[in-house]
Amino acid sequence: MSVHIMSFLDDPSDLVRACAVSRFWREFVITNGLAKHLCVKTYPQFASIVDIVDESKLKKKSVGAENENASEREIRERDHKVYASLHWAILRANCPLRDCLQMAVSASSTDCLPDESVENTVGWTGKLTGQALYWSSKGQSDPTVPETLIYKMKPGIWVITEIDIKPFEAFFQPENLIYSAKSVRFRLGHLRPLSEIGSELGDLPLDEAADDKFRWTYTSPEFPMMQENRLQQFVLPEPVLCVEGYLQVELLGRVQRHETDGLFYLCVNHVRAMARLLYSAFDMEVLEPYGFKNLVLKHVPEDLAPLLESTPHHDFLYLQHSMDVAMSRQIDWDDDFMPGFETNAHDLLHSGFDDWGEMNGRFGF
C-alpha cells in the first residue's frame, strides 16, 4: 500500500525530501526503487536501459561489471542516485539552447531533386550569403494535402523546448511569394525494428515518405504558421525528452499558388530544434537503434553541478549530499542527527530549501 501511494509522486525532489524524514524512509525509497520507477514512468524511453556506466574521472565502471563485487543494497543505492539525478537534470538543466538536428532523412514529396532537397533545410551554410537553398513540395490542386519532413537528431540526451521554421520566400519570382503552411505539428520518436521497416534507413530515398518507418511517441498541438519570411518559433507546451531520436514536421494546409501552373506548393528555408543537451553529466549509447533497444546510460557525477549551476541553492544536489554524509557517518536520523525532527519536518520539507546556509551551520554538513 505504501509503495502504491508513493508511486503517485511526480517530482524527484519529493523522493529526496522523503529520504530526509528518517533512515527508515530513506531505506524504503531506495529498496523499492522509487526513483527509477518515477523516472521510467515519466520517460518510458529509459525502460530500455540495460547498463549504467560511471564515467567519473576517478573511476570508470559499469553496474554490470560491478555486480560480482557490489551488494544488492549498493546497486540499489547507486540506481537511486543516478535516476534521481537524471530526472532532476531533465527538469532543471540550465545550459544554453542549441540546435539538435543532425541531418534530414526524408520528405513526403520533393518538386525538383537535388536543387530543392529537404537536405537544404538543415544548417545555415550558404543561406547567410543569399543562396536560394530550400525544400519544395510537389504541387497540389487541393490545398489541404499535407506534407511531412523527417530529421534525425544528434546523439545524446536532449530536452527539446521549441522548434523553429522559416518558410521560403521566392525572391526570384514576381511579388516575392511566400510558400508557407497554414499550421504545423511535430512528432518525436524512434525507428521501428528492422524486421518491420524492411531496409536500412540510409537506403530510403530522400523524396519519399518514410513516416511508417518510425514509432512516434510524442505529438505536439497544432500551431498556426504566418505567411512571413522569418524564423518562426513554436514553443512546446512542455519540454520533451529525446534520446537519439527523430523529428517529424507535419505541414498542414497550403496558402500559396504558383503563378505558372496554378498549383499549391509548400516551401521551407530552414528548420531547427532547440534543446538542452545533458552531456557531459549524462550521455546515452544506443546499442540497437532499430526498435530502440539496449541503452547504456553514461554518468559523470562531478559534471552534474555545472549543468544545474543556476538552480537556486542547488537544493536537490545539496539535500542528496546531506543524505550521503549522514549515512556515511552512520547517524541515526531519528535521534542523533536531528533531535525533534519529526515536529518540524513539515516546515522543512515544504520550505523550498531557502535557508540551506543556516541548516549547513546547524548540522555541520
Q: How far, in Å, CA of 81 to CA of 330, rounded?
A: 18
* pLDDT category of residue 267 using cuts at 50, 70 and 90: very high
Say whether pLDDT at 343 is over 50: no
pLDDT given for residue 268 in this prediction? 97
Q: How far apart are CA 171 and CA 182, in angstroms?
A: 20
Q: Which of 1-5, 111-115, 186-190, 249-253 has the lowest mean pLDDT?
A: 1-5
Residue 215 corresponds to which cell in the numbers above? 514509432
Tracing cell 530543392 back to the chain, one arrives at: 116
Closest to 273 measured CA to CA, from 238, 239, 247? 247
| Selected residue with higher pLDDT from 21 and 82 | 82
Average pLDDT over residues 236-243: 96
361 has a pLDDT exceeding 70? no
List of E strands, 177-334 = 177-178, 181-191, 214-219, 223-224, 232-243, 246-254, 256-257, 264-265, 267-277, 282-288, 293-299
Instruction: Tell me the domain boundaries of the chain.
Output: 2-93+282-363, 98-277
Q: What is the mean pLDDT of residues 263-269?
A: 97
Q: What is the pLDDT of residue 273?
A: 98
**Nearest-angstrom CA–CA distance, 12 and 85:** 8
Place of cell 529537404: 118
**pLDDT value of position 332:** 43
CA angle centred on 24, ends 22 and 30, rounded to 5°: 105
136 neighbors 206 (Cβ within 8 angstroms): no
Whether the pLDDT of residue 61 is over 80: the answer is: no
The string of pLDDT tens digits covering residues 277-311 is 999 999 999 998 888 889 999 999 999 988 887 55
The more confidently predicted of residues 87 and 19 is 87
pLDDT given at position 220? 98
Q: All 3 cell numbers of residue 341?
A: 525532527
Architecture of the domain defined by 98-277: Sandwich (2.60)
> Tens digit of pLDDT for each residue in 164-210?
999 999 888 878 899 999 999 999 999 998 888 877 777 777 888 88
pLDDT at 327: 47
Q: Which residue has the higher pLDDT, 9 or 134?
A: 134
pLDDT in the model for residue 58: 58
Contact 158, 279 (CB under 8 A): no
pLDDT at position 98 over 50: yes
Give residues with Cβ within 8 angstroms of 12, minimum separation 6.
35, 38, 39, 84, 87, 88, 91, 316
Task: Sort 202 into a burial class: Cβ within 10 Å, 0-12 / 13-18 / 19+.
Answer: exposed
Residue 76 sits at φ, ψ, to 5 deg, of: -65, -40
Specify the pLDDT at position 152. 96
Predicted structure pTM score = 0.80
Three-state SS at 266: coil
pLDDT band for 57, please (50, 70, 90 cuts): low
**DSSP per residue, 158-200:** EEEEEEEEEEPEETTSGGGEE--EEEEEEEEEEEPPHHHH-S-
